[in-house]
Amino acid sequence: MTWCPGLSQSGARQVTGRKGRSRATATLPGRLATAQLDAMEARSSRELQARNYLEKHRIMDLLTYLTSALLFFRPERPREYLISILERLRIARLSGVALPFFMDNSNIASMFEMLDSSNKGSISFVQYKEALKTLGLCTAEEVLKDDGHGVTFDKFRNEVNKRTQEIWSAF
């Protein structure tokens, strides 16, 4: 057999696909493998675009906070409750009024009291970080500075309010 440009030694016609990969058009397994690679690249690209979109608009932060509020308050009608939160957030943004806090000081105090079961007036740093994570105000990867002292109610309340304000102001 004589060699011709575009033919492999087996006689299968060679075609250069997108991305410059050469593929044999006559072999089904080769075409399937190439199609799978192309599909994986497209899926990977779409996943990356989706991830970037969610990060840019802080959608996952919003969902985490909404879920935390839902689990904390456990309303009878969860869908209506979530809708009301989003409506209050929209109104606050449009009117320039203060953003809604869904945990008032009594809720924060109750949570702190549950954590401070020995009534020392402070909680451990580990309890503090876990409480922030439970409320959706801190990620597992976030590094918080432990000053070696217990966390007082004032520090806990101020941090919860500050982080809540930061989250809502991003939306």
CA distance 33 to 100: 53
Q: How far apart are CA 78 and CA 75, in angstroms?
A: 5
The residue behind tokens 């409506």 is 87
**d(Cα 95, Cα 115) in Å, to the nearest integer?**
37
pLDDT-based confidence at 11, cuts 50/70/90?
Answer: very low
For the entire predicted model, the pTM comes to 0.51
Across residues 100-121, what is the average pLDDT?
A: 83
Question: Does the pLDDT of residue 20 top 50, yes or no?
Answer: yes
Q: Work out the number of other CB atoms within 10 angstroms of the CB of residue 1.
A: 7
* Better-scored residue on pLDDT, 41 or 26: 41
Determine the average pLDDT of the residues in 35-47.
Answer: 76
| Per-residue pLDDT at 101 | 60
Work out the pLDDT band at 9, boundaries 50, 70, 90: very low
Taking phi over 0 as left and psi of -120 to 50 as alpha, with beta for the rest, 25 belongs to alpha
